[in-house]
Structure 1
């Protein structure tokens, strides 16, 4: 079992996953669980790949893809699926069939990357999924979330991914998760997406999904467009113009909201023009000063990929390091007395 959720945020991509492997037996033996698998991987300098489903197939394909990309790209070349989707699908499908023969275990990949589109020098985040057996591509819009694995069938995990996509539903779990939020946020930063998932998902108890979570992220540094002193000044200006900054509590976390009503801002400006023209001139001067500090160079640099984790102190972690290769996981399971030929190791 597993739950993987990815975010196509305005300032980059983020992916969070649990670490549990479930062993299922065909002879009626109860399933067994091990917290020991890394389900998200940095595959290239600008690309992360996560998976749910058959662990053997997922780890072998990701390891092979890492080697293939490193040998295929020249220096300063980066992954992008534009014009290459057919070849990628054919490659995954061929290797999947080589591993499994006539069997077709469930397997879904989540690809997340930042790339320069066309002649644009700035980077844009992308999130796409590929599901067995045909591995047809499914894209996710910017400012939306996508989840995969057995956890997505659970109403609590579903509530998290729904809220992160800026949507809502009438379930009791969603209403509880929403907490004090009157309106569902439409825009998430990578950092807030990660922290929200860490806080909320770690409180869910579902057999087959660990409460310990790992995260891979890549941030486009929009925050560096302006120096810190300018960002602080702009917040003061925006507050004077009617932009509303608040903090609302969700079930187990809090969300900092920035709400902008253009009609309200227009009213404020007209009121300042009539009653406080000197104050309006000061605000204009502050905005003009900010524009002079505007620098887009930070958007032209390849965003780094970093990782982090949240460990549940009450949960048993069965290995001091997470397994990234099938042969290592297989040897570990054998050392724990598991008969690999008699079971399926899944992260579904």
Structure 2
């Protein structure tokens, strides 16, 4: 046997039998398939198809939804990806399920919402284009079923079925950017809150960052979204008091100094302990500057004023109520117990709001 004899390229049947039969030209070259041979196989009636520039489907039929997703990610990803022995991009494993597969790229828009489990977004086969999020400086054009969406900074991708997918707020903003029907926008935003995918404030921040809050199809939908989010947060707050055995407060009241100015409204107040609870459901609005909770903000000024009067203010976000109800109940209980060790608070009138 001549030990200097060149080994022949790996036979190609293993590629045709791989679970996801989508590869780039660079990956095919790793398997000894030249550009000329690839072109021959992609001729009319041939066994392969070119899905996107430099991305090939290794069977003659139409691509599955999974293959289309891999194709747009391969097209937009930076550089070739490592292949497994079966010739497909390496997938997350049970031991490392969050291992990134595609660098600096993720599915976004309606396709991402469908992957997250939204029922109001179209099924993947119905989408002519799949939005893929990349950094703004990339020199890359939309092509075929891949629609390039650019961002100054990419959010942390979430792994869904082994694919990098934009978080729900970002995916919603990218989806809304391509929609003009107010009903569709409202259904998507409503499901985001009712389905527990995210908080309204996170969605509105993304819409504001994308300059979408002033669109006619978005304005009313955002108002309904914020109202829905507040209602759900209030329901969780009632449940927290009930299920964790906290004393019953007076709900949704205004605080006022006797004969003096209004101190502001609070969502719950325990008069005997002088403890007030506020839900933060604020969100940026068109033409306004987002409130970052700085000492100059109205919320911070009101809180400082109440605390100078001896009223303890517990500040809770809807997200905290959703993700850690037990912990928030402990925070409130601690504030109520600590009242015995404080100086008596100033006399405050409690009025219905």
* Alignment TM-score > 0.5, same fold: no
TM range (shorter): under 0.3
* Structure showing the higher strand proportion among its residues: 1
TM-score, normalised relative to structure 1 = 0.24
What's the TM-score once normalised by structure 2's chain length?
0.24
Q: Kindly name which structure, 1 or 2, has the bigger radius of gyration based on alpha carbons.
A: 2
